[in-house]
Amino acid sequence: MKASCAAEGYVGAGVSSRLAAVRMGLKRPLIFLGPPGAGKGTQAKLLSERYDVPHLSTGDMLREHVSTGTELGRKAKPIMDRGGLVPDDIVLGMVEERISRPDCAEGFVFDGFPRTMPQAQRLDEILAKRKFSKPVVVNFRVDDDVLIRRVAGRRVCSVGGEIYNIYERPPRDDSRCDNDGGALIQRSDDRAEVVRDRLAAFERQTRPLIDYYRSTGDLAEVDGSASVEVVSKKLLEILAEHGADGNRA
């Protein structure tokens, strides 16, 4: 497991760390929908640690390709820099390969995927083909003014990936991670001018997925403007209600 970010104050963090040795798994894959800054990444990381399943952030995977200079990364970079969405075939290929690895057998948490209708429809086919259960989809609702403040204040540890917010969850030292002392960086696409384009991409291409998953009966909603602890607690309730919690039959 990565450097711990079992965030202080995370509901049940003590229980979670005592259970960490027991592989709990998730009975249904999880999908988090919501605009940038809604808290999907923070919650996906916490749940993936609690259930000991992979946190699959397509944004992180793409940034990895960009930083290692792969062909895929070279194609994706200019699109990401202007806040647009990377073509579906690129993202789908990356995701299908990732979930075919053995560590995904006990479930996984998607963060930032799917983001378009073709991605959602193709994902249904991939999950069925690979005999995964139907996913539980959680929509994070947050007002735009909160989102912009959150994204502008976001800083990410360059070593362990811990996420801070200079307004809401500041590190002890302005420029260093509390866990491992890694340098804290601002993502280039978190600058205000790019955030507006990312929000526009969400409205245009991702919002229709909310109705899609509502129509299949798999959608739950959380108020993403609530605190990390409150949202975490609500998510655990949703998982239990939807039969996704591997620990509770």
Interaction site with ligand AMP (CB under 6 A): 36, 58-59, 62, 79-80, 83-86, 91, 112-115, 119, 189, 198
Q: Catalytic pick from 28, 50, 150, 154?
A: 154
Specify whether 149 is catalytic.
no
Residue 35 or 246: the one with the smaller Cβ distance to ligand AMP is: 35
Specify whether 198 is catalytic.
yes
Residue nearest to ligand AMP (CB): 59
CB of 131 to ligand AMP, least distance (A): 23
Q: Catalytic pick from 115, 150, 155, 169?
A: 115
Residue 91 or 231: the one with the smaller Cβ distance to ligand AMP is: 91
Specify whether 45 is catalytic.
no
Specify whether 40 is catalytic.
yes
Q: How far is CA 136 from the centre of its chain?
A: 14
Buried b or exposed e, range 57-87, using 16+ CB within 10 angstroms: bbbbbbbebbeeeeebbeebbeebeebbbbe
What angle is formed at CA 114 by the lines to CA 5 and CA 123, rounded to 5 degrees? 115
Residue 81 or 143: the one with the smaller Cβ distance to ligand AMP is: 81
Residues annotated as catalytic are 40, 115, 154, 187, 198
